Structure 1
Amino acid sequence: MSNPSAAAPAQGDLTRVMRVLLFIEKAGNKLPHPFWLFLSLAAIVLLLSKALSAAGVQADNPSTGETVTVTDLLSAESLREVVAGATENFVTFPPLGLVLIVLLGVAVAERSGLIPAVLRATVAGASPRWITFIVALAGTASSIASDAAYMVMIPLGGLAFRAVGRNPILGCVVAYAATSGGYSAAPFVNSLDAILGGLSTSAAHIIDENYVVTPVANLYFNFVSMFVVAAAVTLMAELLLSKRADQIELDPVEDGADVAEDDLTMELEPAEKRGMIASLVALVLCAGILVALAAPAGSFLRDEAGGFGPESGLMAGIAAIIGFGFFIVGIVYGCVTGTITHPSDIPEMMAKGLQPFVPVIVLFFAASQFLALFQMSGLGEVLAIRGAEYFGSLGAGTFLILLGGWVLVALGALFITSGSGLWTLMAPVLVPMFMLLSISPETTQALYRIGDSTTNIISPMSPYFVVVLGFLQRYKKDAGIGTLLSFTIPLSLAMFVFWGALFFIWWATGIPWGPGAAIDYPAQ
């Protein structure tokens, strides 16, 4: 028999949480669309530059010794430059080209069926003992499929749990939490790495115009994070949430085979298995060719010093190399399975794969103008210098500074669930400010990843919050936001703690975040 006195406080706590989340939802809904938000911010920058320039606001850059002043962007000379540079600002926006070239290859691998097949193969045949970890690990690795990962992993998680006799609601939530919360944790470089790297590069140019943050800047950290996030999700699910799931009775009508009629099937067809084997062979051959090309001392993939630094052909062209790799293995898989029957199928797949990215391109136009104006005005550098001076006057150590930045990002992600959108707003201030405090852009970007990803799963602002709720209601019709939050809040806290611990341990040991990505700035 349940204890009413024990249930009452728990219900009261959930009610308070619901009130907070309802406030967040209402406040976030009042924010304009990111496109208008960035254009509004661009207008604000124009006005601020006029006012602060007239007030003589300035700051001394400790790294160069130069005095930085705010430029009046509403002067006739500046306005000519603003109008003339609008096209170039958009076309040369660092994330734009990087993301497009990666997505062209990923589109072929996704549309041919390779990426969904890999995800299904990861989960199929898993034992009940390991099912939670395997679903969670597949979710963290699924970011290579971009937003399509949600539509694959959430129903797949429910099916996998049902197949081993466990509550499919828990399977859906585990898959959602791992996919969304672990979106920045991945085994390979994906479009998000290109976006964040490009934005970080633009922000770093406020302090150092030659600094480049490559798409592989957080590669090592991301790979290890994949297992840490999966472990955090698994521990919380097994130690706490499995008991919560056992208390939920599924609707008899929805608990039959009919529920899975239009879901993904986990078992692979013989043709899909042959396609995956052929793709693996193609991947190994591509890797071998790349190694052979990079091996000679005078290789075009090396830099002038003979290494593989940021200016080497390998690092500078890593987006194209990754995109080409996805392109080749996708074609091989499609030819073997029959999803590609004619050469014209390939450009059609590439075009369709870019369609979901069109709204992001629209957002990039507004973001590129905002960032260009922000940089032209000198506001970013002045804010960074003043912010660094403020933290220095407090005597706060690097640990406390990073901790504050981490919490700030996590709170911001409750309102703006677009990873690129939030970083577009925060990078121009955080990156240069932390650089002046000897923290590298790669470190700041890694910090941003863990703050942004872990709170997405509890934000009603996320479009996939409603998606996963819809899948839950297929198994239990009266499942609501409270049902979902009772699962996702503990998972969010677990990821926040575990992933945060990994970040600070990594930072303390001084291990590079990725190839050539140092902990400190300038690199020690």
Structure 2
Amino acid sequence: MSKEKNNGIIDRSLNIVEKVGNKLPHPITLFFMLAGLTLVLSWVVSLMGLSVEHPGTGETIEAVNLLSRYGIRRVFSEAVDNFTGFAPLGTVLVAMLGVGVADKSGLIKAALKKIVLGAPDRYITAAIVFAGIMSNVASDAGYVVLVPLGAIIFAAKGRHPLAGLAAAFAGVSGGFSANLLVSTLDPLLAGITEEAAQLMDPAYAVAPTVNWYFMIASTFLVTFVGTWVTERIVVPRLGEYEGEYTEKLEELTALEAKGLRSALVWLLVAIAAVAALVVPANGILRNDAGGIITGGSPFVAGMVPMIAIFFFVPGLAFGLKTGSIEDDSDVADGFSEAMSDMGMYIALAFAAGQFVAYFGWSNIGTILAINGAEFLQAVNFTGLPMIIAFIIVAGFINIFIGSASAKWAIMAPVFVPMLMELGYSPEFTQLAYRIGDSVTNIISPLMSYFAIIIAFAKKYDEKMGIGTLISTMMPYSFAFMIIWTIMLIVWFTFGLPIGPGGTLFY
């Protein structure tokens, strides 16, 4: 990374964050150290006898001593499960099988030529952020596909690849709640909100679409803010790229053009095949009740292998057309090369999986979240100051508990009824929560995909550490928090509709 950086207040502050963060050990070592620290902290917290009552279930949650006989047994007996059960591991590896064939065949590079060489530079950053936001429709695929793709596109344009990676990461993770479509997150949160609202009003119902209008507008807002931060803060701060990685794209050849046409045709065939399993009322990939998104839908659960197929099929078609794939050995090589590039991530996943598991077992995060929610309730704010404080607390808790539904299951039973008593609708409370839940994803080492982002970044800067990544992403986090909250205030002030079936006031 270049050391030519600005001297403004923001830049100096970020430099301090970067230097302090990068004095930490290698990310793999750090995750092991954090795992060990969590074990010790669990012992200390349990000695203090800390406990809380879950506001939704009424269950008493106590800190668990992981240095006890029970805890040590669990550390050893579940180490493999912590690794294989680490949520992003299977998602990443399965998706990368399809990506590997598409890369081996030359499809990805040819597609980049088609997209990048013909696209105006001024729109590239916005397109990357926007694509990252929209990727949430495909669950977590954006982390695996778009984040590294953002770096490649910037490198192909002769720009710093880490700036492209940051822009894509900001869209995928920082803009997690925004979208032009109703995503898998909407029904998940709506169900929790409905249960919390029924504590006050047993007949209250919350539809998955209640925040849709606001999230559509948020998509464009986050795209604009993410683009501005990339161009005005991140790119100048990173300076000229001095690494060894290069991505030079020559003009598309006639054979590559034919390969792209073949790939497009077969991609449409693959999409049509999946649609045939989803669109009919009795489609195989619908749940037993006929739902596509809700109720444990096989369509949602099978999104990752679908992504792999959507890369594999056109990648194979491109390779056969251009001659870059001649037989099944070439396909197997594509699989193998994709996995060989994931060595760093697999090691990171093992260490991160232990840390995340220990943190969850200890109940420290849950105790912190519930105490934070109770503190905010005790402050007894009203009106917009209460909403703003709620967003900030949600963002803070998000650093320690990555799952949007897990946090909301804790916070909703407290805040939904409380704000209903103050006259605010459950849908509006859910909307405020979604802002806080999104904006700090990109600076939380506890976020499930944080480890893989570091692994991707190390391809372009071997010295990349947690400090560099967090300092790079902090401007996005603060900008999203401020601008998105202002947008909510404006929306609230003018009484604009937030979505079908959603209201501002109860």
Q: Name the TM tier (shorter chain).
A: 0.5 to 0.7
Aligned match for 2:352, one of 360, 367, 379: 367
| Aligned residue pairs, count | 422
Aligned match for 2:311, one of 313, 320, 326: 326
Aligned match for 1:30, one of 8, 20, 23: 23
- Name 1:50's counterpart in structure 2: 43
- Name 1:132's counterpart in structure 2: 122
- Name 1:193's counterpart in structure 2: none
C-alpha distance in 1 between matches for 2:219 and 2:367: 37
How much has 1:180 moved relative to structure 2? 5.2
Change (3 A) 1:186 1:371: closer
How much has 1:42 moved relative to structure 2? 2.4
Aligned match for 2:279, one of 285, 295, 315: 295
How much has 1:65 moved relative to structure 2? 1.3
- Name 1:72's counterpart in structure 2: 65
Is 1:279 aligned to 2:272, yes or no? no
- Name 1:389's counterpart in structure 2: 374
How much has 1:268 moved relative to structure 2? 1.3
Work out whether residues 334 and 340 of structure 1, in 8 Å CA contact, stay in contact via their aligned partners in 2.
yes
C-alpha distance in 2 between matches for 1:87 and 1:367: 12
How much has 1:266 moved relative to structure 2? 5.0
- Name 2:97's counterpart in structure 1: 104
Change (3 A) 1:318 1:173: closer
C-alpha distance in 2 between matches for 1:186 and 1:333: 33
Change (3 A) 1:113 1:405: farther
Q: Which amino acid aligns with 2:278?
A: A
Deviations 1:309-338 (A, max 9, x none): 141211121112222222112111221222
TM-score scaled by structure 1? 0.64
How much has 1:284 moved relative to structure 2? 1.5
Q: Which moved more, 1:438-447 or 1:354-363?
A: 438-447
C-alpha distance in 1 between matches for 2:215 and 2:319: 29
- Name 2:423's counterpart in structure 1: none
Work out whether residues 161 and 460 of structure 2, in 8 Å CA contact, stay in contact via their aligned partners in 1.
no
Work out whether residues 294 and 302 of structure 1, in 8 Å CA contact, stay in contact via their aligned partners in 2.
yes
Is 1:267 aligned to 2:251, yes or no? yes
Share of identical aligned residues, percent? 29
How much has 1:283 moved relative to structure 2? 1.8
Task: Give 1:179-218 correspondences, 5 Å limit.
Answer: 179=168, 181-184=170-173
CA RMSD of aligned residues (A): 5.2
C-alpha distance in 1 between matches for 2:8 and 2:440: 25
How much has 1:39 moved relative to structure 2? 2.4
Change (3 A) 1:490 1:318: closer
How much has 1:113 moved relative to structure 2? 2.2
Change (3 A) 1:314 1:105: same
Work out whether residues 310 and 316 of structure 1, in 8 Å CA contact, stay in contact via their aligned partners in 2.
no
Work out whether residues 184 and 222 of structure 1, in 8 Å CA contact, stay in contact via their aligned partners in 2.
no
How much has 1:373 moved relative to structure 2? 2.2
Is 1:305 aligned to 2:289, yes or no? yes
Paired residue secondary structure (1:59): strand
Deviations 1:69-125 (A, max 9, x none): 222222223322332122222222222222221121122223322223223212333
Is 1:377 aligned to 2:323, yes or no? no
How much has 1:434 moved relative to structure 2? 3.9
Work out whether residues 38 and 359 of structure 2, in 8 Å CA contact, stay in contact via their aligned partners in 1.
yes
C-alpha distance in 1 between matches for 2:310 and 2:278: 16
How much has 1:349 moved relative to structure 2? 1.0
C-alpha distance in 1 between matches for 2:430 and 2:335: 32
Work out whether residues 58 and 70 of structure 1, in 8 Å CA contact, stay in contact via their aligned partners in 2.
yes
Paired residue secondary structure (1:68): strand
C-alpha distance in 2 between matches for 1:227 and 1:299: 34
Change (3 A) 1:224 1:454: farther
- Name 1:90's counterpart in structure 2: 83
TM-score scaled by structure 2? 0.66
C-alpha distance in 1 between matches for 2:161 and 2:354: 40
Question: Unaligned stretches of 5+ in structure 1?
Answer: 1-12, 159-168, 188-195, 209-217, 251-261, 410-421, 469-480, 513-517
C-alpha distance in 1 between matches for 2:255 and 2:71: 61
Work out whether residues 283 and 329 of structure 1, in 8 Å CA contact, stay in contact via their aligned partners in 2.
yes
Work out whether residues 45 and 63 of structure 2, in 8 Å CA contact, stay in contact via their aligned partners in 1.
yes
Change (3 A) 1:174 1:272: same
How much has 1:220 moved relative to structure 2? 11
Deviations 1:239-278 (A, max 9, x none): x89xx9xxx9x9xxxxxxxxxxx75235211122212221
Work out whether residues 103 and 353 of structure 1, in 8 Å CA contact, stay in contact via their aligned partners in 2.
yes
Is 1:352 aligned to 2:337, yes or no? yes
C-alpha distance in 2 between matches for 1:104 and 1:222: 32
Work out whether residues 233 and 491 of structure 1, in 8 Å CA contact, stay in contact via their aligned partners in 2.
yes
C-alpha distance in 2 between matches for 1:133 and 1:67: 52
Change (3 A) 1:100 1:406: same
Change (3 A) 1:184 1:77: closer
